[in-house]
Chain A
């Protein structure tokens, strides 16, 4: 592996593999893998050479921490199970930028939650505090509460934080949900995306039992990215992802309207708008341009203008309504592929974190 190239580790298999490939493709970053046995390739579609290595999601945080790669995509749950930022400070989360109160969003796939679940016939246990009480009683009787999980660290931390002090963890490798029925554990801490698996195994979630909301995340190696050259290279990649995440919030609308001048278009649309609705006409205002009409017989006083607006997704219908009210036509709505902020937020946050660790 040429050390001067920026290297990213991607999940080689599992539930994160395909969504990761799809997501990168949507960012116009092409990763071609001939077979699922190929463990190294290149990323196309970015102005620098980027090496891709495929690894098990569980191995990626460690690889990033040790500086074996510059960047990595893995599960947020796995990252924090392996110690998160706390562990050595060498692994810096980028998307999202932290576990609580993060300002940068997570990658938009691979969503699930790590939850505590108890057998559904435990009608007396509906909340984490019931569990705490029960654990204490059982400990006094000399029967420790047995918890099976693939995520012992996160589970332990959550139980302690919620006042459940006495329990034994059984670390297992998958299929935790079957352990209570087999008698090898009393309760489980397991990943849940729809809840069907829990129900099938006759388990139920309890209040206060959610340990972590997880999704895919991008992490960066402090050691590698302290180097200015590598930082610049990583910024291109991070900016691209951020722009794509931004873009999902917006639509682009173009429509034709009739008016006497550009200003007249603006007046017509802005006249009845309340102050808080002003951004319905775009982030800074609409782009208005004259349409050169081919059709004859148009009044000389009025011409056709094309109006172009960038609008937040949830406001789309409102804007369409306004356009229709002003007899807008040829209304064309298209998704934005990339929306770049004036300043790169995610990369800025990463730089800040790199500095903090110095």
Chain B
């Protein structure tokens, strides 16, 4: 028997001919239609995930699919911003389809939940949209299930979020997973200590993700240096004339140097249009010359990151190794202390350390993280090589301030990619019957009316019930019931109608009894009870 959940595999030539008809409207590239079989899996997975969220005291919310583009321009990472679906609506306002949900939840918190008792623990499920190249397992519209814990200030919340994520994996029967935990705070502190330009800083933070995914640290660092070169920061030795120029510029007080350069610009170009005057241009030109001076600091930062990547292992041993490095660099040990505490709390949650790795140099693509960050990878063979990540999250203490909160509120969160989770849990999902009973009228109008009454009673009793068509033979009714995968069929002919009875057929056991309505309901309820 073909399962009613399986989509039709073998299309005939005529089917294909029909499909290639030019009138046919296709689904938009990179989107997917969720057919009943898939829908059932998603429903089960979401139910399990949602249960875990609730077990940890989270409450559900829903947010709009479209948002003002500013919300996502303000603090999303380059990678997301570049792939955003944006458009102007009829009122000429620039909007976007949400590329992720955290910013939206934060916006909602600021406008609707501000002043409420903290922390606000919220969960959500929703589609997000990114204009990526569609591949197997990568869609332009995909689904995220996640939580945000707004106002969760201390490491116990970090531990709770990670533990919750592990709990979800266990609940979904995915055992082959790996959690990587890091703290972006270490690198952020170093960058601000070295007074590195914001643009370079952003670039390095965003590159940490590629670094953790590249093969070998030397290659990774080389890639970062090449990237810096592309954004105009050369790591090569400065040529002699540049060094001399730098020396000469430094000798003049800035205001004077600026005056001279501005005069030269005015002399050559005459009156200049636009809102940049020669003073501004001169100032920027001088700043550009001195910018080359930050190269040693960048070099030191990259070396530090290189050293950080060498340290990995299982807590508490791993912390001993990193302490000395932090001390040597003169950095605040706070991020390390946080991580240490997080791992201690995780012990209480009974986290399996064979599945957890601490990686101090680890970074994530989103630019808003400030502290603990983590990702979960799943090694299921159903997931492609670059689609192993099923969950990611971390702490974003500044985001609420950035997005217009009256003060900054510490917060953290995570999100799961629902489609990938489902691919990873393949085999654990059962295919339940979607019908408990099929009521089959056999005979004429009177029998059909009798069947209608019976179907209503069954539904009232909580059984999922469908009814067969009028004027069909017993054979046709049974065939229909079979294709629907129903366990019970109620055959209602003239005889049954007259006796006010039911012929109840158990399709699996191929047994048939004649009984009363009450008996039938009782039998079916027992028979369809979940295992």
Chain A residues close to B by CB (< 8 Å) = 67, 86-89, 119-125, 127-130, 132-134, 136-137, 143, 157, 160-163, 165, 180-183, 186, 223-224, 226-227
**A121 contacts which chain B residues (CB < 8 A)?**
265, 268-269, 272, 278, 281
A270–B198 alpha-carbon span in the complex (Å): 66
Whether B22 pairs with A124 at a CB distance below 8 angstroms is no
B81 interfacial contact with A, CB 8 Å: yes
A225 CB, nearest partner CB in chain B, Å? 11
Q: Which single residue of chain B is at the shortest CB-CB distance from A163?
A: B231
B304 interfacial contact with A, CB 8 Å: no
Whether B269 pairs with A120 at a CB distance below 8 angstroms is yes
- Of the residues A89, A119, A136, contact of B199 by C-beta under 8 Å: A136
**A134 contacts which chain B residues (CB < 8 A)?**
284
**B11 contacts which chain A residues (CB < 8 A)?**
none
**A227 contacts which chain B residues (CB < 8 A)?**
20
A44 CB, nearest partner CB in chain B, Å? 27
Chain B residues close to A by CB (< 8 Å) = 20, 22, 28-29, 78, 81-82, 131, 133, 197-199, 203, 230-233, 265, 268-269, 272-276, 278, 281-282, 284-285, 288, 291
**B276 contacts which chain A residues (CB < 8 A)?**
119, 122, 186
A64 CB, nearest partner CB in chain B, Å? 13
Given the interface pairs A132-B199, A160-B82, the reply to whether A180 lies near B232 with Cβ below 8 Å is no
Whether B82 pairs with A180 at a CB distance below 8 angstroms is no
Whether B272 pairs with A133 at a CB distance below 8 angstroms is no
**B230 contacts which chain A residues (CB < 8 A)?**
129, 162-163
**B265 contacts which chain A residues (CB < 8 A)?**
121, 123
- 6 interchain pairs (CB within 8 A)? A87-B29, A121-B278, A122-B276, A124-B285, A129-B232, A133-B197
A145–B489 alpha-carbon span in the complex (Å): 70
**A125 contacts which chain B residues (CB < 8 A)?**
284
Whether A88 pairs with B28 at a CB distance below 8 angstroms is yes
Q: List the 6 closest pairs (A to B, CB-CB), nearest first.
A: A129-B232, A121-B269, A124-B285, A160-B82, A124-B284, A121-B272
Given the interface pairs A124-B288, A160-B82, the reply to whether A132 lies near B232 with Cβ below 8 Å is yes
Whether B232 pairs with A186 at a CB distance below 8 angstroms is no
Q: Which single residue of chain B is at the shortest CB-CB distance from A67?
A: B22
Residue among B232, B269, B272, B291 with the highest chain A CB neighbour number at 10 A: B232
Whether B82 pairs with A157 at a CB distance below 8 angstroms is yes
**A123 contacts which chain B residues (CB < 8 A)?**
265, 281, 285
**A165 contacts which chain B residues (CB < 8 A)?**
78, 81
A127–B231 alpha-carbon span in the complex (Å): 9
Q: Which single residue of chain B is at the shortest CB-CB distance from A182?
A: B273
A201–B133 alpha-carbon span in the complex (Å): 38
Residue among B20, B81, B231, B265 with the highest chain A CB neighbour number at 10 A: B231
Chain A-chain B contacts (Cβ-Cβ < 8 Å), number = 79
A14 CB, nearest partner CB in chain B, Å? 26
- Of the residues B29, B81, B273, B281, contact of A124 by C-beta under 8 Å: B281
B130 CB, nearest partner CB in chain A, Å? 13
Given the interface pairs A133-B232, A186-B274, the reply to whether A89 lies near B281 with Cβ below 8 Å is no
Q: Name 11 extra pairs, CB < 8 A, besides A121-B268, A123-B265, A186-B274.
A: A119-B274, A121-B278, A124-B282, A129-B232, A129-B233, A136-B199, A157-B82, A163-B199, A165-B81, A181-B273, A182-B273
Whether B275 pairs with A130 at a CB distance below 8 angstroms is no
Q: Which single residue of chain A is at the shortest CB-CB distance from B131?
A: A86
**B81 contacts which chain A residues (CB < 8 A)?**
160, 165
Whether B231 pairs with A132 at a CB distance below 8 angstroms is yes
**B133 contacts which chain A residues (CB < 8 A)?**
86
Whether B232 pairs with A127 at a CB distance below 8 angstroms is yes
**A180 contacts which chain B residues (CB < 8 A)?**
273-274
B427 CB, nearest partner CB in chain A, Å? 29
Q: Which single residue of chain B is at the shortest CB-CB distance from A157?
A: B82
B386 CB, nearest partner CB in chain A, Å? 19
**B78 contacts which chain A residues (CB < 8 A)?**
160, 163, 165
**B232 contacts which chain A residues (CB < 8 A)?**
127-130, 132-133
Whether B281 pairs with A122 at a CB distance below 8 angstroms is yes
**B269 contacts which chain A residues (CB < 8 A)?**
120-121
Q: Which single residue of chain B is at the shortest CB-CB distance from A221?
A: B22
B334 CB, nearest partner CB in chain A, Å? 27
Whether B199 pairs with A183 at a CB distance below 8 angstroms is no
Residue among B78, B133, B203, B281 with the highest chain A CB neighbour number at 10 A: B281
A86–B85 alpha-carbon span in the complex (Å): 13
- Of the residues B20, B28, B233, B284, contact of A226 by C-beta under 8 Å: B20
A161 CB, nearest partner CB in chain B, Å? 7
A132–B268 alpha-carbon span in the complex (Å): 25
A146–B273 alpha-carbon span in the complex (Å): 14
Whether B28 pairs with A129 at a CB distance below 8 angstroms is no
Residue among B28, B131, B275, B284 with the highest chain A CB neighbour number at 10 A: B284
A129–B472 alpha-carbon span in the complex (Å): 76
B121 CB, nearest partner CB in chain A, Å? 32
Q: Which single residue of chain A is at the shortest CB-CB distance from B286?
A: A124
A163–B82 alpha-carbon span in the complex (Å): 10
Whether B22 pairs with A223 at a CB distance below 8 angstroms is yes
A125–B281 alpha-carbon span in the complex (Å): 9
**B131 contacts which chain A residues (CB < 8 A)?**
86
**B291 contacts which chain A residues (CB < 8 A)?**
133
**A186 contacts which chain B residues (CB < 8 A)?**
274-276
**A67 contacts which chain B residues (CB < 8 A)?**
22
A182–B285 alpha-carbon span in the complex (Å): 24
**B20 contacts which chain A residues (CB < 8 A)?**
226-227
**A128 contacts which chain B residues (CB < 8 A)?**
232
Q: Which single residue of chain B is at the shortest CB-CB distance from A88?
A: B29
B82 CB, nearest partner CB in chain A, Å? 4
Whether B275 pairs with A183 at a CB distance below 8 angstroms is yes
B372 CB, nearest partner CB in chain A, Å? 26
- Of the residues A88, A120, A129, A226, contact of B231 by C-beta under 8 Å: A129
B30 CB, nearest partner CB in chain A, Å? 9
Whether B199 pairs with A161 at a CB distance below 8 angstroms is no
A105–B28 alpha-carbon span in the complex (Å): 30
**B197 contacts which chain A residues (CB < 8 A)?**
133
Q: Which single residue of chain A is at the shortest CB-CB distance from B227?
A: A163
A224–B22 alpha-carbon span in the complex (Å): 8
**A181 contacts which chain B residues (CB < 8 A)?**
273-274
A81 CB, nearest partner CB in chain B, Å? 15
Residue among A123, A186, A226 with the highest chain B CB neighbour number at 10 A: A123
**B281 contacts which chain A residues (CB < 8 A)?**
121-124
A121–B276 alpha-carbon span in the complex (Å): 10
Q: Which single residue of chain A is at the shortest CB-CB distance from B282?
A: A124
Q: Which single residue of chain B is at the shortest CB-CB distance from A121?
A: B269
A228 CB, nearest partner CB in chain B, Å? 11
Q: Which single residue of chain B is at the shortest CB-CB distance from A166?
A: B73
Whether A89 pairs with B29 at a CB distance below 8 angstroms is yes
**A88 contacts which chain B residues (CB < 8 A)?**
28-29
A102 CB, nearest partner CB in chain B, Å? 17
Q: Which single residue of chain A is at the shortest CB-CB distance from B276?
A: A122
**A129 contacts which chain B residues (CB < 8 A)?**
230-233
**B288 contacts which chain A residues (CB < 8 A)?**
124, 130, 133
